[in-house]
């Protein structure tokens, strides 16, 4: 039962029993029920976690049974339209469960050109990280998988004999896929401790979260030490952008890139054709391999064979 004549007034919310975090107990119960409903509907854990977090944000400053109260709260928040859109999506799921009718406000995130780092910057960042985090970054760099997909990789998804990785739990409606990786990366992956069925996820989920926190901290340290501010722009998603852009540049095959990323709609892939044109550089790193070991090592690091010269192999890759 709603107390007071106007459920959108703050005074109304205060008449409910309130937890230490400022959310009414009745609301907390509804959010917990909603979490169970999302699970029963088959939403992924990451989506559920994000949705519940957004609902709690709204519940601290509005009465979530009243759509008008929620709309006013979303409109008043000093955040981007993209963030408001996420709040609307989360609340819309809540309304669907409880058969609440409301007119969704229209917020659309502003499309931005993704940042594509250079391979030198990526390698500099990887080189300054711990062994585990460096392997994670290299894994995303070579596979182009999303961070959430990387966490779901199991030991059963690793095919060391052919240097293959299977993405069996894709995100955002993407397709499952098989990706070939370098011998160097496969070697690093196989060195990871086998404490759970997952390659990178730790048994204690909080520790996995701390790995990511450590990344942001370490990234700044490396950027300051090398005086390279570009490193501060590199996140896990930009590694995916790098992989897609590089693959398109090397193959000019947009369908190949679409399959690599797991996209179902080629419209999501076409952005990389423009990024490739924008990011292309005529500057190269040139290396000479004197024997087979050096040759295969350079190939595993992304160098492309150009020609023979006096019994040696000439290779190069873009800066």
Choose the final residue of a domain: 222, 241, 260. 241
**CATH assignment of the domain containing 162:** 1.10.443.10
Total structural domains within the chain: 3
Per-residue pLDDT for the chain (319 aa), expressed as one digit of tens each? 344 434 444 434 444 455 556 788 888 899 999 999 999 998 888 889 999 999 999 998 898 899 999 999 999 999 988 899 999 999 999 999 999 999 999 888 777 778 899 999 999 999 999 999 999 999 999 999 999 899 999 999 999 999 999 999 998 889 999 999 999 999 999 999 998 999 998 776 666 678 888 999 999 999 999 999 999 999 999 999 999 998 988 888 999 999 999 999 998 898 887 676 555 555 678 889 999 999 988 888 878 888 888 888 988 876 6
Is 86 domain-assigned? Answer: yes
Q: How do residues 62-74 score in pLDDT, each as one tens digit? A: 988 999 999 999 9
- Summary mean pLDDT of the chain: 86
Query: 69 vs 21, 36, 162, 189, 272, CA distance in Å?
Result: 19, 24, 57, 50, 41
> What phi, psi does 288 have (nearest 5°)?
-120, 125
Q: Are residues 86 and 185 in the same domain?
A: no
86 and 162 share a domain?
Answer: no
Per the domain annotation, does 52 fall within a domain? yes
| Closest to 259 (Cα-Cα) out of 181, 268, 151 | 268
Q: Is the residue at 51 inside a domain?
A: yes
Radius of gyration over every alpha carbon of the chain, rounded to an integer in angstroms? 24
The strand pairing partners of 115, in sequence order, are none
Q: Which residue range forms the structural domain that includes residue 75? A: 10-98
Distance CA 299, CA 218 (A): 29
In a domain, residue 231? The reply is: yes
Token digits of residue 303: 């160098």
């Amino acid at each position: 039962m709603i107390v007071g004549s106007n459920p959108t007034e703050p005074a109304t919310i205060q008449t409910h029993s309130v937890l230490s975090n400022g959310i009414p107990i009745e609301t907390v119960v509804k959010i917990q029920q909603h979490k169970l409903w999302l699970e029963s509907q088959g939403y992924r854990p990451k989506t559920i976690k994000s949705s519940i977090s957004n609902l709690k944000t709204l519940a601290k400053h509005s009465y979530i049974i009243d759509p008008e109260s929620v709309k006013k709260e979303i409109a008043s928040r000093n955040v981007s339209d993209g963030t408001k859109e996420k709040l609307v999506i989360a609340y819309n799921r809540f309304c669907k469960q409880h058969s609440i009718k409301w007119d969704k406000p229209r917020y659309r995130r502003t499309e931005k050109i993704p940042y594509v780092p250079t391979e030198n910057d990526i390698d500099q960042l990887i080189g300054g990280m711990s062994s585990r985090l460096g392997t994670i970054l290299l894994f995303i760099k070579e596979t182009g998988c999303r961070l959430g997909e990387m966490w779901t990789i199991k030991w059963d998804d690793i095919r060391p004999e052919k240097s293959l990785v299977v993405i069996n739990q894709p995100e955002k409606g993407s397709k499952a896929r098989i990706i070939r990786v370098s011998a160097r990366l496969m070697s690093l992956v196989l060195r990871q401790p086998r404490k759970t069925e997952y390659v990178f996820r730790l048994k204690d989920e909080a520790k996995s979260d701390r790995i990511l926190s450590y990344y942001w901290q370490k990234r700044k340290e490396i950027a300051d030490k090398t005086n390279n501010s570009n490193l501060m722009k590199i996140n896990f998603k930009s590694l995916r952008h790098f992989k897609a852009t590089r693959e398109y540049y090397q193959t000019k095959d947009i369908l190949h890139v679409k399959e690599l990323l797991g996209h179902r709609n080629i419209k999501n892939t076409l952005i990389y054709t423009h990024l490739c044109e924008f990011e292309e550089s005529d500057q190269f790193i040139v290396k000479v391999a004197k024997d087979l070991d050096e040759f295969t090592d350079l190939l595993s690091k992304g160098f492309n064979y150009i020609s023979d010269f006096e019994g040696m192999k000439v290779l190069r890759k873009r800066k």
